[in-house]
Structure 1
């Protein structure tokens, strides 16, 4: 029987079977064993520094009669009850599944010897947290690797599953009643939905980079379907039962409706303290992290915008200490001064140098920023005033693109700084455009940095020494490893603004209807651009780029060239005269 969301039948597909070797699934084996001090999963892995109880494949009942499966790791040499960290994952628990740090070059800069091998993908490692007096519960989400039911893709239903799981864990004999959530990516995104259900035993949360709105932030950002990556992600789920097929759903329902609204986390319902992580290096999570931080209605929340990559950040010693300080304060009552931590900390990317140290601020968005408009001008320059006479430039919107940072048919407007300068926050492009060859078109914009000679730069997300290389050229041009610039995306027929969701610093588009454009007609497009925290030296350049294809690096090499748009033919950008095409950018004073 099909599940309905908002009266719409959910489409399903069959995932890869549990028998697939990539699942690393050897059947259910409910059991309890003690991993002794010094235990290593393999000679390559990190040893456990304390004896650890491993309860395997325990049953967690859901309200509809479905049973999930989980592994619980907890201290062996104590009779005291301990707080629990919930890891909620669709990828497989405790080393199961296809995905691991090895999916990118250099193990994402984290040596295998620093990981126990029992950590779920994108999750805290039991070998790190058990010695500090925490339990780790690695849970396979509904329909994943032995957990019953059809896999659900975020939304209220997943939030309810998380609620039931937290209430089960919080009442176990070994638990002191306090449960936290922690993890990257999906393991963070799910937290927005679970915490909004307000489970009583949830004490605090650490969403360490997580999108919060499947449609608006990624799958159909700007109204442009982003099917290749999401199709890839669906190929990482293993089950004997069907999984929700969001790629089929975006084909059938390309406009906003009740189904997609269900997949927008309601952070305004979150009551517990939150440690929110964000970065610029992701093509998935930046907007969700900052949006939910803003929407959490209380002041027990902290935002850290880092300069590396989420998996790398998760296991760095200084960050582990920071996470533990937060958890110890709220889970154990340790008076360690956590609440004096600055509410917002951000680095500034310098591209050709390591990021700056963290700079503290009191709020997000940062109230001290000042927005300035840069107008498209002649000779592909950005100026402080719009030219008096109308002009135009054009590009082919349907040229094949490989997402490697230097594709053809990309317009680039430049501004050269005469002093050290920082930008911080979200930007917005306002463009007057037309397409002579079609009644709709997709537009992609990007803010980049160039050196004093005009060479576009790439920011290395993971230190070269951690990757085991010595030069940038040895690092693959993929999103997890390199960041090139903050982006905005819009399908012209989706240009209507949603005034209900929009904020002064961030516009949302309506997406409930298409408004096609007669070929050749000029329309005004407002395109929000994700967070940028960049530092420029005197003589360095800001690049504002416009194209008909995605200018972000591909997430992984096999996805290069797979992002199809709806473009046909040439697109024309008008500026000057009655058409004040510009980009509005937030600046922050340099100390």
Structure 2
């Protein structure tokens, strides 16, 4: 393997970005797998994210002993030692203002996307390149794939966004219109500012040089002047406007082959966008893969790396390896104790039987038929709300697909935030829990909606997925009744006979009863910003109305057992 460190990539405006290039030493032009972003190309996975590294080592002890020394493993980036023997080149670029690349750091900006497109063209024209560039990476390195692929750079041949949002507003910054804490509490200070170009105080050491990998040291005033505070940008744009439009991919413009991989337990960032990206991409050749487990394990486990390899072998090397016969939807269907692989030919699944469970506010139950009598359930906001429990399943029952909740509400104030959680319980009343992307024990599904953002676009809404415009605020009149449609992120669960489904509605982020530690069921994706959730607006009484003229119900994607196909 040839390893070239800090290779210069000169952009059209004269800025020079720095890249690490790993390539075969046989002299044969190779297809390129690229990542470009602000996380720092020289900070080892173990150094920058030790708790996650320790968990990955527990799940996959051979990650740095079987076929790789692990020396070049970086957070959310492919391992060069595994890909170079297969005839690929790996290019990891510090984006403008990050790591060794000077300039103004401006995450998710149109400038960053322009830079990425230029880097793709650079890689496609090097003498060691075969002219085909693929994109492969997790989270940020997945999100910006959607953005740059829509620009259609000439040498881009395929993308594989692994667990990454495709809609910056709905998937990431504002869930249902509610501003999230994750980016300003965790992401911006830890993952971005720590590796800003010129930050001599970076805690991460380059194992090759023994020093920091953030270029020439700059003073604090210069550092502040060399970055745009994207958190303040989020705050300044509480609705979808031109700022968001410029930063959200035009999915229909994507034309290269796509392998989109999402996580059932990725509520808050790493689920909805992969499904929506797959559905919205204009590509004729596109595939969706849905799995469970932690946010990082699947990307590195051998069976998933082989899936990535088969995809790129087909579209970057032109190999006839049978990939074209691969059904477009690859699911790991979730059971309480396991996952079962199954292939489908579309999403949502064509044989879905859309099934309603009606809220019984009096008995706190989910009923198969609407109730004639009107009942109410009232709770304080912010705070815990109410839970509705189904009868035991009479037979094994599968729900796989998007989910929606129709809810009639009344508030004592001008607005209300709704936090919706789907849970499951075994016959003994124990909750069914799963290892999520970023939380050790997640529920089946989650959804959110700010009532003043209730407006939907009928042309873009689908069964199980109301599409909210988020372009205007419609305050509530205290004491009046409103019908809301709430999007719950996609899910997959097979409930054995005797198990129950539960719907929880809260006025705060879901927290599991008795949970300890920083992760209590919603991971780091919380919504407690006092600027966004002002007490004078969101402190009061929320009321749920059901029965009679109030058709409050949960819409579920029931998959009939007779139609199961095994992949």
TM-score by length of 2: 0.86
Query: Is residue 366 of structure 2 the alignment partner of residue 385 of structure 1?
Result: no
- The 2-side partners of 1:184 and 1:297 are apart by 21
Q: Deviations over 1:543-567 (max 9, x none)?
A: 1111111227898689597734452
Cα displacement (A) at 1:455: 2.1
2:285 — aligned with what?
300
Please show how residues 199-348 of structure 1 align to structure 2 within 5 Å.
199-235=153-189, 236-237=191-192, 238-239=195-196, 240=198, 241=223, 242-282=226-266, 283-348=268-333
1:175 — aligned with what?
129
Query: Is residue 557 of structure 2 the alignment partner of residue 586 of structure 1?
Result: yes
Query: Is residue 377 of structure 2 the alignment partner of residue 433 of structure 1?
Result: no
Is the CA contact 1:215–1:263 (under 8 Å) kept in the aligned structure 2? no
Is the CA contact 1:62–1:164 (under 8 Å) kept in the aligned structure 2? yes
Please show how residues 519-534 of structure 1 align to structure 2 within 5 Å.
519-534=478-493
Among 80, 84, 89, the alignment partner of 1:126 is 80
Cα displacement (A) at 1:263: 2.1
Cα displacement (A) at 1:230: 4.0
Is the CA contact 2:419–2:509 (under 8 Å) kept in the aligned structure 1? yes
- The 2-side partners of 1:262 and 1:232 are apart by 24
Among 421, 441, 445, the alignment partner of 1:486 is 445
- The 1-side partners of 2:19 and 2:518 are apart by 29
Q: Deviations over 1:61-103 (max 9, x none)?
A: 2222222111001112x12111110022321114358743634
- The 1-side partners of 2:370 and 2:240 are apart by 35
2:399 — aligned with what?
423
Is the CA contact 1:212–1:263 (under 8 Å) kept in the aligned structure 2? no
1:143 — aligned with what?
97
- The 1-side partners of 2:53 and 2:78 are apart by 19
1:541 — aligned with what?
500
Secondary structure at the counterpart of residue 290 of structure 1: helix
- The 2-side partners of 1:230 and 1:482 are apart by 24
Cα displacement (A) at 1:275: 1.0
- The 1-side partners of 2:53 and 2:483 are apart by 40
Secondary structure at the counterpart of residue 162 of structure 1: helix
- The 2-side partners of 1:191 and 1:532 are apart by 24
Among 88, 109, 122, the alignment partner of 2:36 is 88
Structure 1: segments with no counterpart, 5+ residues: 1-51, 400-407, 462-477
Cα displacement (A) at 1:454: 2.5
- The 2-side partners of 1:99 and 1:420 are apart by 44
Is the CA contact 1:369–1:588 (under 8 Å) kept in the aligned structure 2? yes
Query: Is residue 48 of structure 2 the alignment partner of residue 65 of structure 1?
Result: no
Q: 1:556 to 1:245 in 2, by over 3 A?
A: farther
Is the CA contact 1:480–1:555 (under 8 Å) kept in the aligned structure 2? no
Q: Deviations over 1:307-344 (max 9, x none)?
A: 22331001111111111111111111221111111110
Among 506, 512, 520, the alignment partner of 2:465 is 506
Aligned Cα RMSD in Å? 2.2
Among 325, 343, 355, the alignment partner of 1:372 is 355
- The 2-side partners of 1:104 and 1:387 are apart by 51
- The 2-side partners of 1:496 and 1:307 are apart by 32
Is the CA contact 2:366–2:388 (under 8 Å) kept in the aligned structure 1? no
- The 2-side partners of 1:504 and 1:576 are apart by 22
Cα displacement (A) at 1:281: 1.3
- The 1-side partners of 2:439 and 2:79 are apart by 21
Cα displacement (A) at 1:572: 0.8
Among 53, 64, 69, the alignment partner of 1:113 is 64
Secondary structure at the counterpart of residue 470 of structure 2: coil
Q: 1:104 to 1:519 in 2, by over 3 A?
A: farther
Cα displacement (A) at 1:569: 2.3
- The 2-side partners of 1:499 and 1:287 are apart by 19
Structure 2: segments with no counterpart, 5+ residues: 199-222
Aligned length: 512
- The 1-side partners of 2:173 and 2:470 are apart by 13
Q: Deviations over 1:220-265 (max 9, x none)?
A: 1111000244431011212244333232123222122110122221
Secondary structure at the counterpart of residue 490 of structure 1: strand
Cα displacement (A) at 1:105: 5.6
Secondary structure at the counterpart of residue 334 of structure 2: coil
Secondary structure at the counterpart of residue 347 of structure 1: strand
Is the CA contact 1:429–1:584 (under 8 Å) kept in the aligned structure 2? yes
Is the CA contact 1:498–1:509 (under 8 Å) kept in the aligned structure 2? yes
Among 342, 354, 360, the alignment partner of 1:359 is 342
Q: 1:521 to 1:246 in 2, by over 3 A?
A: farther
- The 2-side partners of 1:140 and 1:166 are apart by 13
Secondary structure at the counterpart of residue 112 of structure 2: helix
- The 2-side partners of 1:234 and 1:561 are apart by 15
- Please identify, of 547-556 and 446-455, the stretch whose mean Cα deviation from structure 2 is larger: 547-556
- The 1-side partners of 2:54 and 2:430 are apart by 25
1:447 — aligned with what?
422
Secondary structure at the counterpart of residue 36 of structure 2: strand
Secondary structure at the counterpart of residue 363 of structure 2: helix
Q: 1:501 to 1:262 in 2, by over 3 A?
A: farther
Secondary structure at the counterpart of residue 544 of structure 2: strand
TM-score by length of 1: 0.82
1:570 — aligned with what?
541
Among 139, 143, 152, the alignment partner of 2:106 is 152
- The 1-side partners of 2:434 and 2:524 are apart by 21
Secondary structure at the counterpart of residue 73 of structure 1: strand
Cα displacement (A) at 1:439: 1.0
Is the CA contact 1:91–1:99 (under 8 Å) kept in the aligned structure 2? no
Is the CA contact 1:349–1:459 (under 8 Å) kept in the aligned structure 2? no
Cα displacement (A) at 1:580: 1.2
Secondary structure at the counterpart of residue 585 of structure 1: strand
